[in-house]
């Protein structure tokens, strides 16, 4: 995993966030064939477009873990708005079962910085989510 400082004209920073968010009503949308893969593709594309570096991305049946590195100019709410907004629109267009939902994601989310826990520990946690019961 990269723990590299980001350099801009006026700043040097290392800002990593661990986000967890869920579909509305904790629906098990990632059991629908193709949804998980398409979600990951859309998330990677949106993050590339916005300058968000994905360090780890994992989908569980009814929630998502994403570990990112960002510049200090990016606010936490805007990061979530970009990811949730872009993926909700496209997934609901492409998967008829999701189109029937009034909204795809809940408005809430969990976010933590990688300060008290090492980045390696967070990445290990995200990577091992699929193997947990």
How far, in Å, CA of 6 to CA of 38, rounded? 29
The residue ranking higher by pLDDT, 9 or 38, is 38
Tell whether the model's pLDDT for residue 14 goes beyond 80: yes
Q: What is the pLDDT of residue 13?
A: 81
pLDDT tens digits for range 35-92: 999 999 999 999 999 999 999 999 999 999 999 999 999 999 999 999 999 999 999 9
Instruction: Please give the structure tokens belonging to residue 32.
Output: 């629908």
Distances, alpha carbon 110 to alpha carbons 18, 21, 80, 103, in Å: 8, 6, 10, 18
Phi, psi at residue 15, to the nearest 5°? -120, 110
Q: What are the chain's domains? A: 6-131 (3.30.70.1290)
pLDDT band at 1 (very low <50, low <70, confident <90, very high): very low
pLDDT, the chain, mean:
89
Tell whether the model's pLDDT for residue 116 goes beyond 60: no
Instruction: Please give the structure tokens belonging to residue 96.
Output: 């008829």
């Amino acid at each position: 995993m990269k723990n590299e400082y980001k350099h801009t004209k006026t700043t040097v920073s290392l800002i990593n966030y661990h986000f967890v968010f869920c579909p509305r009503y904790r629906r098990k949308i990632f059991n629908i064939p193709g949804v998980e893969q398409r979600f990951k593709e859309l998330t990677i594309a949106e993050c590339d477009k916005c300058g968000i570096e994905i360090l780890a991305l994992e989908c569980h049946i009814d929630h998502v873990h994403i570990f990112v590195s960002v510049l200090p100019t990016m606010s936490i709410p805007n990061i979530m708005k970009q990811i949730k907004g872009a993926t909700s629109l496209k997934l609901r267009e492409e998967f008829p079962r999701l189109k029937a939902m009034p909204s795809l994601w809940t408005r809430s989310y969990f976010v933590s910085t990688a300060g008290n826990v090492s980045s390696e520990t967070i990445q290990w946690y995200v990577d091992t989510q699929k193997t947990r019961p």
